[in-house]
Amino acid sequence: MRRFFAENMDLNGDAVCLYGDEARHIGLVLRMKPGDEVLLIDGSGAECTAVIESITEDSVRLAVRERRMSSAEPEVSVTLFQCLPKQGKMEVIIQKCVELGVMKIVPTVSARCVVKMEGKDNKIARWNKVSQEAAKQCGRAAVPQVAFPTALEKIDFSGFDTVLIAYENESEVTLRSVLTDGRKVSNMAVVIGPEGGFEPKEVGSVAARGGIPVSLGRRILRTETAGMAVLAQIMYELEQ
Ligand code: SAH
């Protein structure tokens, strides 16, 4: 069944109207007809089946049927604190990490970041659009939020039950050893460094806030590979 975003809409009522891109896509591009069934996604993790009632040039009215939680959402919530990478890489990171089940992405500023974010609010809007498109393509019912950039030293990790910082110089503790040590994980934070890596004192400061420095294995991964690798391993270990 085709999926459409009805973000910020109340899907608890009997009917809903789509406008803008989604409406044009249904009517003009796909040429769907009244009576056709679709899936509506409100961005929160729920989805509804709905039947098209009527279509105009710029709106589609649908009757809402069955509401259910999406089976595509992971049970573990992972927030990725991705230190700002160089030009263009953030879009790839967002797209792939959304596919792999991330719940939120926080662009993070650390000592060795070379990119500056001042005055780049349009970037955040663009990144959220990338997240939305990735969520739609891979069948997710939640659209992971891309937050405003935050300085690494200011992040409050207190709401997470497990905080991991992938550290290229960690030689003893592996990601796998933490994921398989029997802990109950439901709300996790993962911190990934920029191209130049972390300064030791940054890792110490995250550890002082409860973070566990982990190794991702014997090879140094690029910053854009590291988050994907961590997410794939988390889902492998923790998803049923
Ligand atoms: N320039 C650094 C590497 C940075 S890699 C150096 O040469 O040492 C970018 C980020 O990816 C790192 O800060 C870390 O968060 C993550 N990363 C890459 N490979 C890793 C590994 N083997 N173990 C842990 N973290 C890794």
pLDDT in tens, 115-171: 887 777 789 999 999 999 999 889 898 899 999 999 999 999 999 999 999 999 999
pLDDT value of position 214? 98
**For residue 93, what are its two tokens?**
């990171």
Distance CA 23, CA 119 (A): 32
Check which CATH number belongs to the domain holding 190 and give it.
3.40.1280.10
Residues 174 and 191 in one domain: yes
CATH of the domain at 29: 2.40.240.20
**Rounded distance between C-alpha atoms, residue 114 and residue 110, angstroms:** 9
The CA distance from 54 to 215, in Å, is 55
What's the confidence (pLDDT) of residue 219?
97
Question: Among the three residues 41, 69, 97, which one is the final residue of a domain in this structure?
Answer: 69
200 in contact with ligand 1, CB cutoff 6 A: no
Q: Let me know whether 47 and 24 are in one domain.
A: yes
Residue 62 and residue 111 in one domain: no
pLDDT band, residue 68 (cuts 50/70/90): confident
pLDDT digits (tens, 9 = 90+) for 187-227: 999 999 999 999 999 999 999 999 999 999 999 999 999 99
Mutate-to-test residue for ligand 1 from 220, 222, 230, highest number of ligand atoms within 8 A of CB = 220
Sign of CA dihedral 101, 107, 112, 117: positive
Domain count, the chain: 2
pLDDT at 63: 95
**Residue 101 sits in the same domain as residue 158:** yes
Would you state the pLDDT for residue 240? 61
Say yes or no: 46 and 107 in one domain: no
Residues 64 and 81 in one domain: no
Q: Which helix (H) or strand (E) holds 195?
A: none
Indicate whether 96 and 38 sit together in one domain. no
Check whether 24 has a pLDDT greater than 90. Answer: yes
Q: Residues 85-111: what's their mean pLDDT? A: 96
Rg (alpha carbons) of the chain, rounded to whole number: 20
**What number is the average pLDDT over the span 6-34?**
88
Question: Which among 44, 69, 94 is the end of a domain?
Answer: 69
3-state SS, residue 11: coil
Q: Which of 31, 47, 69 is the last residue of a domain?
A: 69
Q: What's the mean pLDDT when you consider all of the chain?
A: 93
Residue-level pLDDT at 146: 97
In the reported structure, the alpha carbon of residue 72 is separated from the centroid of ligand 1 by a whole-number distance in angstroms of 30
Q: Does 186 share its domain with 94? A: yes
DSSP helix, strand, coil percent of the chain (3-state; round to 5): 30, 30, 40
Contact call for residues 42 and 9 (beta carbons, < 8 A): yes
Locus of tokens 């090879």: 219
Beta-sheet pairing, 46-55 with 150-151? unpaired
Burial class of 20 by CB neighbour count within 10 A (0 to 12, 13 to 18, 19+): exposed
The reply to whether ligand 1 has any atom less than 6 angstroms from the CB of 168 is yes
Q: Is the pLDDT of residue 5 over 90?
A: no
Burial class of 190 by CB neighbour count within 10 A (0 to 12, 13 to 18, 19+): buried
- N-term to C-term CA, the chain: 24
Q: C-alpha 14: how far from its chain's center?
A: 30
Q: 234: helix, coil or strand?
A: helix
User: Does 204 lie in the same domain as 85?
Assistant: yes
Contacts of 31 (CB under 8 A, 6+ apart): none
- Which residues span the domain enclosing 215? 77-238
Residues 30 and 63 in one domain: yes
Confidence of residue 45 (pLDDT cuts 50, 70, 90): confident
Is the CB of 215 within 6 Å of ligand 1? yes
The verdict on 32 and 138 lying in the same domain is: no
Q: Within this chain, do residues 38 and 126 fall inside the same structural domain, yes or no?
A: no
Candidate from 62-71, 107-116, 145-154 with smallest mean pLDDT: 62-71
Q: Please name which of 165, 162, 145 lies closest in space to residue 153, comparing C-alpha atoms.
A: 165
